Chain A
Amino acid sequence: MKDSMLNAIETRLGLSRRSFMQFCAAMAATMGLPKGADAQIAHALVSAKRPPVIWLHFQECTGCTESMLRAEHPTLEKLILDIISLDYHETLFAAAGHQAEAARRASMAANKGKYLLVVEGAIPTKDNGVYCKVGGQTALEMVHECAADAAAIIAIGSCASWGGMPSTSPNPTGATGAPVILKDKAVVTIPGCPPNPYNFLSTVVHYLTFGKLPEVDAKGRPKFAYSRLIHENCERRPHFDAGRFAQEFGDEGHRQGYCLYKLGCKGPETYANCPSILFGDVGSGSWPVGTGHPCIGCTEQGIGFQKPIHELAELKYVLPPVGYPRIVEEQGQGMSAGSAALVAGVGGLAVGAGAVMARNLGKNKKPDDTDFGKE
Chain B
Amino acid sequence: MSRLVIGPFNRVEGDLEVTLEAADGRVASAQVTAPLFRGFEQILIGRAPLDALVIAPRICGICSISQSVAAARALGQALGVTPPPNGALVADLLLAVENAADHLTHFALFFMPDFARSDYAGRPWHAEAARRFAATAGQSAREAMAARARLLHVVGLLAGKWPHSLTLQPGGVAKSVDLGERVRLGQIVADFRRYLERNLFGGSLESLTALDSFVALEQWGERHGDSDLALFLRLSRDLSLDSQGRGVGRFLSYGGITGRAGLWCDGRVAPLDLAGLREDVSHGWMQGGALHPAQGQTRPDADKPMAYSWSKAPRLDGLSCEVGALARQAVSGHPLIADVLACGGWQGSVHDRVVARLLELAQLVIAMEGMIAALSGEGAYCREHGVPGRAEGAGLTEAARGALGHWLRIEDGVIAGYQIVAPTTWNFSPRDADGNPGPLEQALEGTLLEPGASPPLMVQHIVRSFDPCMSCTVH
> B62–A62 contact, CB under 8 A?
yes
B302 in the interface (beta carbon within 8 A) = yes
Choose from A255, A281, A286, A305 the contact partner of B176 (Cβ within 8 Å): A255
> B172–A130 contact, CB under 8 A?
no
A16 to B369 CA separation, bound complex (whole angstroms) = 32
Contact count band on B? 35 or more
> B10–A93 contact, CB under 8 A?
yes
Q: In the complex where A66-B163, A293-B160 touch, is A134 in contact with B54 (Cβ < 8 A)?
A: no
Chain A window 311-343, contacts with chain B (Cβ cutoff 8 Å), 1 for yes, 0 for no: 000000000000000000000000000000000
> A166–B61 contact, CB under 8 A?
no
Question: Which chain A positions have C-beta within 8 A of B157?
Answer: 280, 282, 286
- The secondary-structure label for the interface of chain A is loop
Question: Which chain B positions have C-beta within 8 A of A135?
Answer: 7-8
Question: Which chain B positions have C-beta within 8 A of A96?
Answer: 6, 8-11, 455, 460
A348 in the interface (beta carbon within 8 A) = no
> A291–B158 contact, CB under 8 A?
yes
A346 to B368 CA separation, bound complex (whole angstroms) = 43
> A81–B137 contact, CB under 8 A?
yes
Interface centre among B158, B159, B173 (most CB of A within 10 A): B159
A355 to B302 CA separation, bound complex (whole angstroms) = 45
B145 in the interface (beta carbon within 8 A) = yes
Select from chain B the residue with minimum beta-carbon distance to A166.
Answer: B38
Chain B window 55-75, contacts with chain A (Cβ cutoff 8 Å), 1 for yes, 0 for no: 100111110100000000000
A136 in the interface (beta carbon within 8 A) = yes
- Which of B353-361, B380-388, B427-435 faces chain A? B380-388
> A69–B149 contact, CB under 8 A?
yes
A161 in the interface (beta carbon within 8 A) = no
Q: How many residues of A contact B (CB 8 A)?
A: 77
Question: Which chain A positions have C-beta within 8 A of B159?
Answer: 291
> B38–A92 contact, CB under 8 A?
no
B343 in the interface (beta carbon within 8 A) = no
Nearest CB of B to A64, in Å: 7
> B55–A97 contact, CB under 8 A?
no
Question: Which chain B positions have C-beta within 8 A of A193?
Answer: 58, 164
Question: Which chain A positions have C-beta within 8 A of B172?
Answer: 249-250
Select from chain A the residue with minimum beta-carbon distance to B474.
Answer: A131
A264 to B39 CA separation, bound complex (whole angstroms) = 25
> B160–A172 contact, CB under 8 A?
no
Nearest CB of A to B386, in Å: 10
Choose from A70, A97, A168 the contact partner of B152 (Cβ within 8 Å): A70
Question: Which chain B positions have C-beta within 8 A of A29?
Answer: none
A35 to B166 CA separation, bound complex (whole angstroms) = 37
Choose from B53, B117, B145, B153 the contact partner of A69 (Cβ within 8 Å): B145
A282 to B58 CA separation, bound complex (whole angstroms) = 23
Interface centre among B12, B163, B383, B460 (most CB of A within 10 A): B163
> B454–A249 contact, CB under 8 A?
no
Q: In the complex where A131-B36, A168-B55 touch, is A101 in contact with B8 (Cβ < 8 A)?
A: yes
B113 in the interface (beta carbon within 8 A) = yes
Q: In the complex where A134-B8, A308-B47 touch, is A194 in contact with B164 (Cβ < 8 A)?
A: yes
Choose from B14, B58, B59, B160 the contact partner of A290 (Cβ within 8 Å): B160
> A97–B50 contact, CB under 8 A?
no
Q: In the complex where A170-B42, A172-B39 touch, is A309 in contact with B161 (Cβ < 8 A)?
A: no
Nearest CB of A to B44, in Å: 9
Chain A window 98-135, contacts with chain B (Cβ cutoff 8 Å), 1 for yes, 0 for no: 11110000000000000000000010100100111111
Question: Which chain A positions have C-beta within 8 A of B380?
Answer: 250
Question: Which chain B positions have C-beta within 8 A of A23?
Answer: none
A105 to B145 CA separation, bound complex (whole angstroms) = 29
Q: In the complex where A166-B38, A279-B161 touch, is A62 in contact with B14 (Cβ < 8 A)?
A: yes
Given contacts A75-B149, A94-B136, A134-B15, 12 further A-B contacts (CB under 8 A): A63-B58, A66-B163, A70-B148, A77-B142, A90-B15, A96-B455, A136-B5, A165-B38, A281-B156, A285-B160, A288-B161, A308-B48
- 10 tightest A-B contacts by CB? A63-B61, A280-B156, A172-B39, A250-B382, A94-B135, A292-B174, A291-B160, A293-B166, A282-B156, A61-B61
A-B CB contact pairs (8 Å), 27 listed: A57-B14, A60-B61, A61-B58, A63-B58, A63-B64, A66-B61, A69-B145, A70-B162, A75-B149, A77-B142, A91-B12, A92-B135, A92-B136, A94-B116, A97-B454, A122-B38, A132-B37, A166-B38, A172-B38, A193-B164, A254-B174, A280-B156, A280-B157, A286-B157, A288-B165, A292-B173, A293-B174
